[in-house]
Structure 1
Amino acid sequence: MKLSIISVNLSLTLLSLIAGPYAMANDTGWYTGANLGQARAQIDDEQIRHNMLLGTDFTSLTISTDQRDTGYKLFGGYQFNKYISLEGGFFDLGKFGYTVATSPAGTLDGTIKLRGLNLDLVGTLPITKKFSAFGRFGVNYAEARDSFTGTGAVGGLNFNPSQRDTNYKYGLGIEYALTDSLDIRAEAERYRVNDAVNNKGDIDLFSVGLVYRFGGSKKPYTSSYSAEEIAPEVVAPVQVIVPVQNKIEQYCSILDIQFEINNDNMQLEDKEKLAVVGTYMNKYPATTAVFEGYTDKVGTTEENMKLSQRRAQSVVSYLENTHHIAASRLTAVGHGETHATATNATMVGKRMNRRIDAVITCVDDIPGLMVEPARLTIALVIEYDKNKANLKPQYEGGLSKVADFMKLHPSVTATV
């Protein structure tokens, strides 16, 4: 007798491949999931007639078959890179059978149940950022349990053979990333099996399921920014202290105001520059500004610190009173005689050091704000857990942008 079966495998796969709770992001790491669907089988009528009835006094009249059932699988795997993974687990192909009506009057019933373990090498072809196709090839270790029962003229036949055997399997599928951690997949697989009475058959499996990937991210950060997209050309490295509300924010300096010795009064041309700033900040109400005051080394360090604060505050007050910018959007910071941009040994150098630098949140549309010296600063705030020094993954993208920019501009320096 032979049961030649083709079915759809929906199997439950438990990965018993590699020990350890290791999990990584960036296209590598562990994953698990489950599939569910319909199993279909084809019963070989001619083989049944030949094996069961040939050489007997029986002839078959009709054969009815049960060729579909529900199957499932649970699976797990390890992704070595975005193209290759190893996947394995447990599958249950369901139950299939047939009933033969014979002459003289009688019936012959046969059923088979199939379940087992599989181990596959899976190759993935990324099509888009979220959509991919994959193929698999591997082995399955299946247990087949048969049952044969006769009635009427075929009475007396009752036996239940079983067999375990190793065969190949293969399949194709598609997968779509719902989130960084959760995928949905649909696939078709074919299992080669032994039916426990020394006959081989194929089992085709069509299923849908969900895949959960540990680590929450599948794609490594790759900068696609050009120098122009990251920032304008840097004129000179400048240290800037910026109170930053956002965790990662880009700022640009667009203004440079200078003062007379021991004086915190702005000149007319400086007020004209601030008018541009006021217009800009009124146009973009979400922007904020930090005005940093500096002095030369004339006078004591303490006096210069207070003078630099007054200079910065004079700019803030002017924007509040004249251009009606909310005080919550403006910050004045005095740095005294620190961070000099020129030598204090000459009159020209001293004048350059008596200045106000404006650090203002940027947008792309900034007409009229091409005031020298222009520069870019990037303020990056990184938080750590208590008593820890490990960098958290969420900050890697921001640091990668900084690194890319510094590679493009070798003269740029950074203060950490």
Structure 2
Amino acid sequence: MKFTATPAMLAIAALAAMAAPAAQAQDTGWYAGGNVGRAGATIDDDRIRAGLAGQGLVTNALANREHDTGYKVFGGYQLNRNFAIEGGYFDLGEFGYTARTTPAGTLTGDMSARGLNLDVVGTLPLSERFSVLGRVGVTSMRTEGSFSATGAARVPYASANSSQTSVNAKWGVGVAYAFTESLSMRLEAERYRLKDSVGNRGDVDMVSVGLVYRFGQSSPATRTVAAAPVPAPVPAPQPVQVTPPAPAPAPAPPPALAPAPAPAVAAAPVVLTRVNLSADSLFDFDSTVVKPAGRTALDKLVADLRGVRYGAVRVTGHTDRLGSADYNARLSERRAAAVTDYMVQTGGLARDKVVASGAGETMPVTVAGNCRGASPTAALRACLQPDRRVEVEVHGTR
């Protein structure tokens, strides 16, 4: 049997290879998972007919078995937000054909393919939940073939049962959706190069869906900065009285020394300013990347702080109630961190004076009952818009 390539798969793989380098850094850690799906190969009918013609036979009918269920199990290590190393075991299923000839005879061939793989996986996040994948790797694949003939037909190979182990390339593309920090789903299209049991080279394509579990994932830690202690007031010294000796008449005693003035008590920090920035103006939906309109607002805020004596800046992210509380908490933390990073890197704020945290959906500003419903309709999202915000408080002394 011979397996031929599908050009569309090559185009998709090239697109993924170009997209993956644009991603930025992410969490590291171990993960494991499995996929199941449909594998397919294109059998070279012309070669089969030519082989039977060489025996003086005419092929009357040729029935192909080009699809089967395939699966893979894998484990990997996420090096950063862009790249992971992944290894696993795969089984692409079985494929075959039955040819009927004149004079009367049949030739049947079957082949299976399975093995081990090691891939480099590139990831390009599109939002907090969606990302696209591209992969390239190598396989150690074992193919096993069996052939049988009846009537006038003969098996055209030296052995009716054969096997072949070879090292080959593989590549693929896909998309992923994260249900939680730990659990996500993948939809993938992959191409496996192979050398079959009778020496032919070709490809098997598999489209599959599966789950990935990441070990030890948790919400990102909130960055905190300890507030500077307020110095206690220094007690004023007591006045010193100088008295001359009693018996001797002497000049009038010197006047008592005036008490030294007490040092000023440091003023307690107060909130100098509080600004609420709409999350919709800072970020696109489900994103933590500050967009141009948001950068303009933050640039103005940082410019207003120049010359102000501030001790700390507190940045708090807030979300509306749509979605899970756990997801909203993580989204609010990441948006607060994104605003903090922008003001530090672009505006020149001292990082050790900035406190970033997320309140999630716990501190809405909309009145309960005014925005009814649970489905994320356009009207409900517009009603809850004030809840989606990032609050910036500047603490200092006047």
TM range (shorter): 0.5 to 0.7
- The structure-2 alpha-carbon separation of the partners of 1:26 and 1:6, relative to structure 1 and needing over 3 Å to count, comes to closer
After superposition, the C-alpha distances for 1:197-231 in whole angstroms (9 at most, x for unaligned) are: 111111111111111111214x86687x9xxxx99
Q: Does 1:203 align with 2:95?
A: no
- Say if 1:3 and 1:341 are closer, same or farther in 2 by CA, change over 3 A: same
> What residue number does 1:166 align with?
167
User: What is the 5 A alignment of 1:215-364?
Assistant: 215-217=216-218, 237-239=228-230, 340-345=232-237
Deviation of the 1:91 alpha carbon: 0.4
Q: Could you list the per-position Cα deviations for residues 122-166 of structure 1 after superposition, in whole angstroms to 9, with x for gaps in the alignment?
A: 111122222211211111111110010112222678711111111
Q: 1:351 to 1:100 in 2, by over 3 A?
A: closer
Aligned counterpart, 2:89: 90
Following TM superposition, the consecutive aligned residue runs of length 4 or more in structure 1 with deviations greater than 6 angstroms are 155-158, 350-353, 357-360, 374-378
SS of the equivalent of 1:161 reads strand
> CA 1:81 to 1:152, structure 2 compared with 1: closer, same or farther past 3 Å?
same
Contact residue 3 and residue 48 of structure 1 kept, 8 A: no
Q: 1:37 maps to which residue? A: 37
Offset at residue 340 of structure 1 (A): 2.8
Cα distance per residue 1:334-375 (max 9 Å; x no partner): xxxxx633543479859979x9x9999xx989xxxxxxxx99
Where does residue 406 of structure 1 map in the other structure?
353
* Percentage of matched positions with identical amino acids: 44
**Partner of residue 303, structure 2:** none
The answer to whether the aligner puts 1:79 opposite 2:78 as a matched pair is yes
SS in 2 for 1:42: coil
Q: CA, structure 1 residues 128+376, in 2 after alignment: closer, same or farther (shift >3 Å)? A: closer
Distance in 2 separating the partners of 1:118 and 1:94: 16
Residues of 2 paired with 1:351 and 1:138: CA distance?
71
CA distance in 2: counterparts of 1:47 and 1:220, whole angstroms: 59
Q: Distance in 2 between matches of 1:197 and 1:183?
A: 40
Mapping of 1:361-400 within 5 angstroms?
Answer: none
Query: Against the structure 1 CA distance between its residues 221 and 129, is the aligned structure 2 distance closer, same or farther, given a 3 Å change threshold?
Result: farther
Q: What is residue 370 of structure 1 aligned with on the other side?
A: none
Alpha-carbon distance, 1:405 to partner = 4.7
Structure 2 distance, partners of 1:200, 1:351, is 88
Is the 8 Å Cα contact of residues 67 and 96 (structure 1) preserved in structure 2? yes
Aligned to 1:189: 190
Superposition TM-score, scaled by structure 2 size: 0.54
Change over 3 Å in CA distance of 1:202–1:350 after alignment to 2: closer
Aligned ranges for residues 2-17 of structure 1 at < 5 Å?
Answer: 2-4=1-3
Instruction: Report if aligned partners of 2:172, 2:191 keep a CA contact under 8 Å in 1.
Output: yes
What is aligned with 1:27? 27
Aligned-partner Cα distance in 1 for 2:312–2:235: 23
TM-superposed deviation, 1:175: 1.2
**Partner in structure 2 of residue 284 of structure 1:** none
In 1: Cα distance, 2:312 partner to 2:75 partner: 48
Determine the C-alpha separation between the residues in 2 that align with 1:174 and 1:183: 10
Across the aligned residues of Structure 1 and Structure 2, the Cα RMSD in angstroms comes to 4.3
Shift of 1:120: 0.9
